[in-house]
Structure formats: structure tokens, C-alpha cells
Chains A and B, each alone.
Chain A
Amino acid sequence: MNLYKYASPTAFYPLAGKMIPWFAVAAALLFVAGLYVGFFVAPTDFQQGDAYRIMFIHVPAAWMGMLLYVLMAFYAAIGWAFNARLASMMASSISITGALFTLISLVTGSLWGKPTWGTWWVWDARMTSTLILLFLYIGFISLQSAIDEPRRADRAGAVLAVVGVINVPIIYFSVQWWNTLHQGATIRILNKPTIAPPMLAALLIMLAACWLYSIAVVLVRLRYIILEREQNAARVAAMAV
């Protein structure tokens, strides 16, 4: 079997269509399982009460936000270097989901912050760098949507994503440095070392669910992008019917 043939958007389109239901169903099942363990099995935290349970969506969302940025840059770079259209489409498709997860992690973070720290927002190193990550996503998305010609949009996005990836660690450490210098509210997000096994299990299940959800949604969006861009290819026209 020649796997490389799936690098062609028109060949990948039906394959993606077949994969989406599997990932979507698996994601739904894991979300249910993760939420069940998170709400009913995991014990109440002795410091934070039940408020900590928002962690089960907050932490996976934050991880996904960061990972998807790297993944997006990876696909964008592949698409740029090897002139692979599908990889570039993948990058554009991932960018929206990544931005969404970053936004979710910021919103849930501030909802969590209110009952535990007594404030919606703290200029804590992690929150600040997540905010900047969201700005980087927004930059990528707005650059791509400002360019009408798809291949130029792909390549321009790739340059920006690669520059962003090089910058992310620098931004992260500079923000941390800035935070320790200013010595504002030094709040550790979690006193990590002891986390009850059911809590960890719920967290990991939710993380897996988020991954599967991302794959499913990215593929759905990818199919739309393929339809939109390759509409002149006869085979796609046939598929769209």
C-alpha cells in the first residue's frame, strides 16, 4: 500500500471522511468517562473544595493550546518546505482549534481564579504567556485570512508560524523573568506533588478526549478547506455532490 498517495488532498478527502466518525465517537465516549470520573469519583480537594474540578477541562485545554501551536508550525513548515498542499491546509485547519483551546484555557483559568484567588485575572507568568500565545494564533489566522491567494497564504503563514515557534520559548522565559522581578501576586497554580490517583486519571482521560476531539474537528475543517480550494478539480466536484 502506498501511503504517500494520501498526501494528495483529493485522495485524503474520502479517507478523512471515514476517520472522522471514529475519532468523534471515541472523543464523545472519553469526554463522558472523563467527566464522570472527574465529578463523581475524584475526591473533593481539602483546600479548594469542589472548585478545583474545573481543572479537568482547564489543564487539558492549556496543554492542547500549546501543543497545537507547535503542531501547526510543524505542518506549515512541511507544507512550505516540500510544497505539500495538504500539510498547509492542515496547518490552517489546526490554527482555529488551537486558538479555541487557548481561549478556553484562559476563560476557565479566570473562572477558577475567582473562587480560589479572589480575582479574575492575575499577571502570572503562565497566564500572561498563554495570553500571548492566543495573540500569536490570532496573528496567524488574520494573516492567512488577509491573503486571497491560497498558496501565498500558506507560505506566509508558515514563515510567521516558524518565527513564532522560535520566539515562544524566549517569550515564555522573558515573561517568567518579568514576573519574578515584579514580584506581584506570587501564586502557584497548583501545589502539584500530591494529586490523588482518580484526579490524575480524570485529567488524562480528558486529555485523551481533547486530543481525539481536536483530530476529528481538524479533519472536518480540513475537508471543507479541500472542497473550497480544490473545487476546480473534477474529482472533488464529484465528491461534493
Chain B
Amino acid sequence: MLTMFRWIVWRDLTLAWRRRADVLSTLFFFVIVVSLFPLGIGPESQLLRSIAPGVVWVAALLASMLSLSRVFENDYHDGTLEQMLLTPQPLFLVVLGKVLAQWLVSEVPLALIAPLLGVQFDLEPHTLWILFISLLIGTPILSLIGSIGAALTLGLRGGGVLIAVLILPLYVPVLIFGAGAVDASITGGNIQANIYLLAAFFLLALVFSPWATSAALRISLE
């Protein structure tokens, strides 16, 4: 079973490495969106500092939308996904492996570059650190919940936009706790509470969402 899991993760990582442009374009999308906000709002550093947590987090949600629509898409089109469904190994593991690979490829780079973007918004080093931590805990939730939407919209016309409509409302708690933690470190609020709630939500998503994704995959591939 674990061999299968490792194989899936390794395969998806290899595929992503061979198609680096896709991964990089998501990352640049994130960077560009975040950098557009000061242009739209104005260079006032006090204002920018207070909106920074929300801006970075919202941009991360949008960027993860872009990469999520690709999680199952290619495997679906060339028939690999159907073969994976037929394997005796639990589908749960296949889903978890693909989600883990997606997170490593598309979300971890966001978390790594976010502190750099935070510097643009004149955040304190301590806050940058919290931003990184909150993204590191929060982005797996985005991948897990988002994979449900990716599985549901598999092969539908306008899948990319549809997945955003389905999934973004479900991201609300992640956004609130994630941006809340960063915000708390600026205003002196309770950082830990937000991080713990984010972690709790992560565990919940880890248990439930691969199950929902497997069900959705079965429905989509019927």
C-alpha cells in the first residue's frame, strides 16, 4: 500500500518537474496578484501593512485554484486515472498521494515566497515568520478541499471557473484563521488560537476530504 502511495507521489513530482512552466506560472500569478494591490490602493505603508495578511492569503487561495484544476485533469484525459481506480489499493491513498504531490509542487513554493512579498508590504520579521507558518499549515487544507472540487468538475466544460465557484466559499474558514493569525501578530492579538484552529481544520480536512474526493472521482468516471 505504501509503495503505491510513494509511487504516486514520486510520479506526480516527476511529471511536474518535466512541466516546470505550469508550476512557475502559478507562482508568478501569486506574486503578480499580490504586487498589484499596492498599485490599486496606493503606497501608504500603514494601510498596506494592515491589508497585507488578507491580500497575501486571498492571492494564495486564487493561485491554488489555478493549480488545483490540473490535479486530475491530465490523468483523466490519458486514461491513467481510470486504471488507478481499478487497482486493488484503496482510492483514498491514491487521492492522498496526488494531493500531497500537488501541495509540494504548487503550494509550498507559495509559502516560501510569501515572506518576500510580505517585505514589500513592510511587515516585521516576526510577522513574516507567522505568515510563513500559517501558509504552511493552511495550504494543505486548500489542496485537500480543492481536490474535491477538482474531482467533481472533471471533464466538464468551464471546469476551471466552476471549481472556483464551488470551492472558494468552502475556503472561508481557512482564510479567516490564516489571515487572522498574521493579523494577530501585527495587532498583538492571539496568534496561537488562530494557528491551533487552522491545525484543527487541517486534521478534519485530512480525514474527510480524501474520502469525499474518492467518492467524487468514482461519480465522475462512471
Contacts and interface: CB of A to CB of B under 8 A. Distances in A.
Contacts of A136: 169-170
B215 interface: yes
B152 A156 contact: yes
A41 interface: no
A164 B173 CA distance: 12
Contact of A177 (B145, B152, B176): B176
A160 B208 CA distance: 13
B220 interface: yes
A164 B169 CA distance: 9
Interface string B175-192: 011001001100001000
A142 B162 contact: yes
B162 A162 contact: no
Interface stretch (A56-64, A167-175, A223-231): A167-175
Nearest to A138: B165
Interface stretch (B11-19, B111-119, B153-161): B153-161
Contact of A146 (B145, B158, B177): B158
B166 A143 contact: yes
B135 interface: no
Instruction: Give the interface SS of chain B, mostly helix, strand, loop or mixed.
Output: helix
A166 interface: yes
A143 B212 contact: no
B92 interface: no
Interface in B102-158: 145, 148, 152-153, 156-158
A162 B212 contact: yes
A153 B174 CA distance: 28
Interface of A: 132, 135-136, 138-139, 142-143, 146-147, 151-152, 155-156, 159-160, 162-164, 166-167, 170-171, 174-175, 177-178, 181
Given A132-B172, A167-B173, 19 more contacts: A135-B169, A138-B165, A139-B169, A143-B166, A146-B153, A146-B156, A146-B157, A159-B216, A159-B219, A160-B148, A160-B152, A162-B212, A163-B208, A167-B170, A171-B169, A171-B173, A174-B172, A174-B173, A174-B177
30 contacts: A132-B172, A136-B170, A138-B165, A139-B166, A139-B169, A142-B162, A142-B165, A146-B156, A146-B157, A152-B219, A152-B222, A156-B219, A156-B220, A159-B215, A159-B216, A159-B219, A160-B152, A163-B148, A163-B208, A163-B212, A167-B170, A170-B204, A171-B169, A171-B172, A174-B176, A174-B177, A174-B197, A178-B180, A181-B180, A181-B184
In the A-B complex, the 7 residue pairs with the closest CB atoms: A174-B173, A135-B169, A139-B166, A155-B219, A178-B176, A174-B176, A156-B152
